[in-house]
Each structure stands twice: as C-alpha cells, then as structure tokens.
Amino acid sequence: MQLPPIGLGTMGIENPDTIATALECGYGHLDTAQIYGNEAVVGEGLARSSVPREDVVVATKVWADSLAPEDVRETTAESLERLGLEGVDLLYVHRPIEAYEPERTLPAFDDLSQEGTIGAVGLSNFSVSELETARETLEAPIAAHQVEYHPLYQPEELLADARENGYPLVAYSPLANGRAGEIDAVVDVAKRHETSPEAVCLAWLDAKEGVVPIPKASSRNHLEANLAALELELEDDELARIDAVERTEELFPE
C-alpha cells in the first residue's frame, strides 16, 4: 500500500477543526480507531475540509473485543456510520488478543475487502509469528502493520518482516509519547541542527525505508512542524547514534 510519508495519529483529538486543519496543511493519511472514541470527530473534520475524499487515506481499527466474524462486520458498519463514509481505505485488526482467532477473524476482513467496504487489510501490534500465521490465513495481502516505534522502542524484527514482505510499517507514538526531549542522543542531534527533538525523531524514522510515522498534533504550528521535519536530513553518524539508543521501553504494552 502506498501511504504518504507521514500521517496524523488522532488518538485524543476531540475537535473536528483539528482534522480539517491537518488536511489543509497537507496531511493525506488519517488514522483513528474504534476504541479512540473519535471516529465521528475524524469524519466531521473530513467533511469540513475541501480536500477531495480520494486524496485522503482514512484508516480505522477494529478493537479486540469485536473480532468475532459477526462483530467485525457489525462494528465496521458502525465505524463507517460514525465516519460518515461508505468505506475506509485501510481497516486494521487493532490487537491480536481477546476475541481474535486468525481462522475466524481474518476471513471476515477478507470478506469486507472483497465486497469493497474496505480498501485494504492492516494489522496492528502483531509479533512476527502472528504475522506469519496471518499471512497463511488471509487471502488479501497485509497492506500495513502498525506498531509502536520510536528511539526508546525499536522493533527491528518487525521492520525486517515489513521490508521482506513488501508492506509499510506504520509507526505510532513516534515522539516517544512526549519523551523525545529526554533522550540524550536525540537532544544532541537536535542541538546540532538547531531544531527540536521531535523533528529529529520524525526525520530519523523517515530515513528508515518503509516506515511511515503518524504523530499526533493538535495545533497548526505542531501540525506544520511535523510535516517540515521530513525535510531534515540527518547524517549517517547521527542516525547510527539514535539507532544505538537503549530500546527496550515499550510505552504501550498489551
């Protein structure tokens, strides 16, 4: 799946104008989820924007308690109603827990794909072994895998799987949940470039082939700053230094 190089993570966004502003600024990828409780906000923001619907990738996720086949269909229909859309471009399995059973859940996603209700099937928070099982079960290709990814948590094995199998790795919480300014290597690189630690995190991720960060931002200034971060080019030694940050701290474990 061809995704824009950066998207907008919408968890916690409660104002439709934020969504409309993001689209006006140039974002072409909106990421929400049933459990965020703001699909209607995202849909209203999209409706308020003059950006054509076909120019925006809209993604949402089915929560873990709704992954039985009948619930997948029912809750996806509810998501579309809240979003005010006839279909979404990307529908994720949010987490492979609770009601998730590959042989029952994934065919329901295939059905939605085949009938055109969703454009593509995504997975989120899967392990490599769970991805392998999903590939054996799904008829549709895995279009994207969304995982936590930032300097404090670097799941390289998942990036390797994404590259090997030809799908983008969508990085949520790319700014380490507000802790970018606490990471020495990131702060030092930011000082060298006279920019922010947040910009360095995004530039570092953008430099990784196949990674698409989806930072959350609410103000126009932050929305524009995150887009501008992709213009920052880090040196190889700077990238390597951030790669070497101790990376065992998952901020959003299961």
What region does 98 belong to: left with phi over 0, alpha with psi -120 to 50, or beta? left
Residue 22 lies in a domain: yes
Whether this model's pTM surpasses 0.75: yes
Please indicate, yes or no, if residue 229 is contained in any of the structural domains.
no
Within a domain: 12: yes
Q: What is the pLDDT of residues 148-186, one digit of tens each?
A: 999 999 999 999 999 999 999 999 999 999 999 999 999
Complete edge-to-edge strand list for the sheet that includes strand 8-9: 8-9, 29-31, 57-62, 90-93, 121-124, 142-148, 169-172, 211-213
Does some domain include residue 125?
yes
* CA distance linking residue 138 with residue 107, whole number of Å: 7
pLDDT of 181-205, one tens digit each? 999 999 999 999 999 999 999 999 9
In a domain, 103, yes or no: yes
Total domains in the chain come to: 1
Report the sign of the C-alpha dihedral through residues 239, 241, 247, 249, in that order: negative
From CA 192, how far away is CA 23, in angstroms rounded?
31
Contact 61, 34 (CB under 8 A): yes
Residue 69 in any domain: the answer is: yes
Residue 42 falls inside a structural domain? yes
What pLDDT, on a 0 to 100 scale, did the predictor assign at position 231? 97
Residue 149 belongs to domain spanning: 8-178+210-218
- Chain-centre distance for alpha carbon 7: 7
In a domain, 151, yes or no: yes
Q: Give the tokens for residue 239.
A: 């990238």
CATH of the domain at 21: 3.20.20.100
pLDDT tens for 81-96 read 999 999 999 999 999 9
